[in-house]
Amino acid sequence: MAANPKSKKAYASAGVDVDLGNRVKSGIQALVKGTHGPEVLGKIGGFGGLFRPNFRGMKDPVLVSSVDGVGTKLKLAFMTGRHDTVGQCLVNHCINDIAVIGAKPLFFLDYIGAEKLEPKVFQQLLKGFSKACKAAKCAIIGGETAQMPGMYQPGEYDLVGTIVGVVDRPRMIDGSGIRPGDIILGLASNGLHTNGYTLARKVLFEQMGLKLSAKLEGVTGTLGDELLRVHKNYQPLLSTLPAGVVKGLAHITGGGLVDNFPRVLPKNCDAIVDTASWKIPAIYKHIERGGGVDHAEMFQVFNMGIGMTIVVAPRDAKAVQAKLKARVIGKIEKGTGIVRLK
Amino acid sequence: MAANPKSKKAYASAGVDVDLGNRVKSGIQALVKGTHGPEVLGKIGGFGGLFRPNFRGMKDPVLVSSVDGVGTKLKLAFMTGRHDTVGQCLVNHCINDIAVIGAKPLFFLDYIGAEKLEPKVFQQLLKGFSKACKAAKCAIIGGETAQMPGMYQPGEYDLVGTIVGVVDRPRMIDGSGIRPGDIILGLASNGLHTNGYTLARKVLFEQMGLKLSAKLEGVTGTLGDELLRVHKNYQPLLSTLPAGVVKGLAHITGGGLVDNFPRVLPKNCDAIVDTASWKIPAIYKHIERGGGVDHAEMFQVFNMGIGMTIVVAPRDAKAVQAKLKARVIGKIEKGTGIVRLK
């Protein structure tokens, strides 16, 4: 009794096409090949991805791992039919989340859940993952694509990424060295990155009735372009700094400066952030005004133009600022572990 | 300008309740604590989970990683309001996927994507993850819960898990030692595990019009009980075998015996599986008959009662069979790398 391809009718008519899944996946190898260094053993298609880590030169290697999605930025991909940036956003978001501890990425795994696999969409997503991983010297060693009819809307999908990286324990960054008087630097974000899209879409499309092709004052390109910009990966830039200079890093994601910065603040320090010290990008002003959103809430939903914060000692501020093209956005004062926006 | 909790109206009215998210997550620490050994540094709530691996005694440690979901088994959780088993299923599915290479689990990360967080559901899911991880001596070091209004149906969610484990390279199991004459053993599954639910639901609920409370001939408990049984974790059992005895392992998931076994078969070997050598559980007969599903297709959609296959040399078969309470279900013959069902 050989399995007969012609007989796979029941599963397909229930909405799961195993053959389609296999056909779609057959192109993966070529796409992810460019992300593989000698550490990657075996190949995708086995049950687990194999990675032989090289911890040479490390005293006490610690694995650092994080899982994330890109939220409803996906809706922008669905609306525009452009699926090439969200995969990059996911990889870069994950890498930043471990970079704040001082870790460099080793490998990445992706999950795509969808109502039905669309080969063209799948290829674009994989291209995005591959492009970002290649740029970050991070290997894609696994992935799962799940066809779940009745779970997702037709043409929609969710993306989930997991990153695993490594940091040498003596070089781990945890904010514990932060002291009153330290300087807060900010690195510019590239648009909304991957947070606040539910509110942004509601305000821009529902309340303001804007189209994807809209041109807004102060915004480069169309509204669609602006909202699909790729989440920046700050790790390559941060890795250029000498060990020991950075006291604390915060990746400004969901919860904004207000919720993310305290993750690295000692309990007896506050972060005083001067919101006039950088130019808040125009898109946020449109959202704030168009939606009548409270100014304070804007800073708890969006990155407001700052994608990563860096705390350094006063003596290091100038050199780090110049090297990273960062901006001084505030300072550390005695306090209770919160962010105070000025 | 302090962030004012009363002002977080815009985001909440767009469907994302940041405070609810924070409240729900505040219970995580206690739930996952039981999964943490001394390898886990820091705590959940930071940006990345920290794991200090102990590779003592290993010659050449290789990290093995896999990502997966539980498919539309989730729909059963939604239908019954029982969310305590699917989290366990996810953990165990992931662990089996790396166990087939010989790896033991180190840590796990979960993702829950939902329309809105329901604290009670979230707690049940986390309890499931924790229970399975604790039993498997695997640490939960990270997770993400995404509220995505308009992506998921009200009351629904998707689950994704990523496992990272380790195997000593000389002990890696890859099927390359499989030879004609070798014996195929099978380990019993515990129900459908996490595959074939889209077809099973269509046949049982739509075509046959059955209720969750239905009692089917030969099925223990209700239909709801049967479909929510926990995916078995075979790793603890497999780890009791002496090194070098197992030549190849296949976790029978989506694609069934037909698609999964070939992943470990050398190109010049076929797996001859005698489908009369074990009692196919009653649930599959009900699905096959009720849906008029081709018998061959059943073996490409469901595990049909075998959750894991083990290839051993004839001289080892008896001892392994006795130790694992496995069943001889076939043998290896010269061939072209496929499964032939008899």
ipTM: 0.92
Residue with more model confidence, A204 or B10: A204
Question: Structure pTM?
Answer: 0.93
| For residue B44, pLDDT beyond 50 | no
The torsion angles phi and psi of B10, rounded to 5 degrees, stand at: -65, -45
CB atoms within 10 A of CB A210: 18
Q: Which residues on B lie below 8 Å from A259 (Cβ)?
A: 18
Question: Among all residues of chain A, which has the CA nearest to that of B301?
Answer: A11
Across A132-245, the runs of DSSP E, i.e. the strands, are 139-147, 157-168, 183-188
Confidence bin at A3 (pLDDT 50/70/90): very low
Of A60, A75, A296, the CB nearest to B4: A296
Answer yes or no: do A150 and B75 touch at CB < 8 A: yes
Q: Which residues on B lie below 8 Å from A4 (Cβ)?
A: 294, 296
In whole angstroms, what is the distance from residue B42 CA to residue B107 CA?
14
pLDDT in tens, A282-304: 999 999 999 999 999 999 999 99
Answer yes or no: do B340 and A149 touch at CB < 8 A: no
Mean pLDDT of the B121-142 span: 95
Mean pLDDT of the A189-201 span: 95
Question: Among all residues of chain B, which has the CA nearest to that of A74?
Answer: B151
Residue-level pLDDT at B30: 79
CA angle B156, B19, B132 (to 5 degrees): 50
Parallel/antiparallel/unpaired status of strands A139-147 and A104-114: parallel
Residue-level pLDDT at A43: 60
Q: Which CATH architecture has domain B183-341?
A: Alpha-Beta Complex (3.90)
Answer yes or no: do A67 and B162 touch at CB < 8 A: yes
| For residue B66, pLDDT beyond 90 | yes
Of the listed ranges A120-124, A136-140, B41-45, B49-53, the least confidently predicted one is B41-45
Q: How far is B110 from chain A (nearest CA, A)?
A: 7
The torsion angles phi and psi of A185, rounded to 5 degrees, stand at: -105, 155
**Which two three-digit tokens encode residue A290?**
């168009």
Residue-level pLDDT at B6: 43
Closest CA to A138 of A60, A71, A236, A24: A236
Q: How far is A220 from chain B (nearest CA, A)?
A: 25
Q: Determine the 3-state secondary structure of B49 from DSSP.
A: strand
Residue-level pLDDT at B26: 67
Q: How far is A249 from chain B (nearest CA, A)?
A: 10
Answer yes or no: do B294 and A142 touch at CB < 8 A: no
The DSSP secondary-structure symbol of A26 reads T
Which residues lie across from B186 on neighbouring strands?
B309, B327
The DSSP secondary-structure symbol of A237 reads H
Residue-level pLDDT at B148: 86
Mutation site for A-interface testing, chosen from B151, B197, B287, B289 by largest number of A Cβ within 10 Å: B151
Residue-level pLDDT at B16: 72
Confidence bin at A44 (pLDDT 50/70/90): very low
Question: Among all residues of chain B, which has the CA nearest to that of A301?
Answer: B11
Answer yes or no: do A111 and B160 touch at CB < 8 A: yes
pLDDT in tens, A129-146: 999 999 999 999 999 988
Q: Determine the 3-state secondary structure of B300 from DSSP.
A: helix
In whole angstroms, what is the distance from residue B99 CA to residue B103 CA?
5
Answer yes or no: do A71 and B254 touch at CB < 8 A: no
Answer yes or no: do A67 and B160 touch at CB < 8 A: yes
Question: Among all residues of chain B, which has the CA nearest to that of A172?
Answer: B50
Average pLDDT, rounded, for chain A: 92
Closest CA to A100 of A293, A252, A274: A252
Residue with more model confidence, A21 or B109: B109
Residue-level pLDDT at A149: 80
CA–CA distances in Å: residue A297 to residues A218, A254, A292, A342, B161 = 22, 12, 11, 14, 32
Residue-level pLDDT at A240: 95
Q: How far is A270 from chain B (nearest CA, A)?
A: 12
| For residue B70, pLDDT beyond 80 | yes
pLDDT in tens, B271-323: 999 999 999 999 999 999 999 999 999 999 999 999 999 999 999 999 999 99
Answer yes or no: do B10 and A291 touch at CB < 8 A: yes
Answer yes or no: do A297 and B151 touch at CB < 8 A: no
Q: Which residues on A lie below 8 Å from B300 (Cβ)?
A: 3, 8, 11, 18
Is the four-CA dihedral B314, B320, B325, B326 of positive or negative sign?
A: negative
The share of chain A scoring above pLDDT 90, in percent, equals 81
CB atoms within 10 A of CB B14: 24
Residue-level pLDDT at A116: 85
- 3-state helix vs strand vs coil in chain B, percent to 5: 35, 25, 40
Question: Among all residues of chain B, which has the CA nearest to that of A60?
Answer: B52
CA B339 from centre of chain: 22
The DSSP secondary-structure symbol of B230 reads P
Q: Which residues on A lie below 8 Å from B61 (Cβ)?
A: 52-53
Residue-level pLDDT at A22: 67
Helix axes B119-135, B18-25, angle to 10 degrees: 30
Of the listed ranges A25-34, A75-84, B263-272, B319-328, the least confidently predicted one is A25-34
Answer yes or no: do B107 and A65 touch at CB < 8 A: yes
pLDDT in tens, B174-212: 999 999 999 999 999 999 999 999 999 999 999 999 999
Which homologous superfamily does the CATH classification assign to the domain defined by A15-171? PurM-like, N-terminal domain (3.30.1330.10)
Mean pLDDT of the B112-135 span: 92
DSSP B176-218: TT--TTPEEEEEE-STTTTSSHHHHHIIIIIIS---TT---TT
Answer yes or no: do B72 and A150 touch at CB < 8 A: yes
| For residue A49, pLDDT beyond 50 | yes
Q: How far is A219 from chain B (nearest CA, A)?
A: 23
Say which residues have a Cβ less than 8 Å from residue B259's Cβ, sequence separation at least 6: A18, B300
Length of chain A measured in residues: 342
Residue-level pLDDT at B14: 76
Mean pLDDT of the B240-248 span: 94
CA–CA distances in Å: residue A20 to residues A30, B200, B257 = 18, 20, 19
| For residue A46, pLDDT beyond 70 | no
Q: How far is B337 from chain A (nearest CA, A)?
A: 13
Is the separation of the CB atoms in B160 and B67 below 8 Å? Answer: yes
Question: Among all residues of chain A, which has the CA nearest to that of B172?
Answer: A50
| For residue B12, pLDDT beyond 80 | no
Answer yes or no: do A142 and B67 touch at CB < 8 A: yes
Of B53, B151, B199, the CB nearest to A10: B199
Answer yes or no: do B67 and A165 touch at CB < 8 A: no
The share of chain A scoring above pLDDT 70, in percent, equals 93
pLDDT in tens, A218-266: 999 999 999 999 999 999 999 999 989 999 999 999 899 999 999 899 9
Of A144, A162, A301, the CB nearest to B69: A144
Mean pLDDT of the B46-72 span: 92
Q: How far is A266 from chain B (nearest CA, A)?
A: 13
Residue-level pLDDT at B32: 85
Of B8, B113, B163, the CB nearest to A158: B113
Say which residues have a Cβ less than 8 Å from residue A38's Cβ, sequence separation at least 6: none
Residue-level pLDDT at A2: 42
In whole angstroms, what is the distance from residue A262 CA to residue A337 CA?
6
In whole angstroms, what is the distance from residue B315 CA to residue B183 CA?
9
Residue-level pLDDT at A14: 76
Average pLDDT, rounded, for chain B: 92
Residue with more model confidence, B90 or A20: B90
Domain ranges of chain B: 15-171, 183-341
Residue-level pLDDT at B270: 97
In whole angstroms, what is the distance from residue B34 CA to residue B37 CA?
8
Residue-level pLDDT at A29: 75
Question: Among all residues of chain B, which has the CA nearest to that of A294?
Answer: B7
Q: Determine the 3-state secondary structure of A13 from DSSP.
A: helix
Residue-level pLDDT at B43: 60
Mutation site for A-interface testing, chosen from B67, B115, B202, B304 by largest number of A Cβ within 10 Å: B67
Taking CB atoms and an 8 Å cut-off, how many pairs form between chains A and B?
Answer: 302
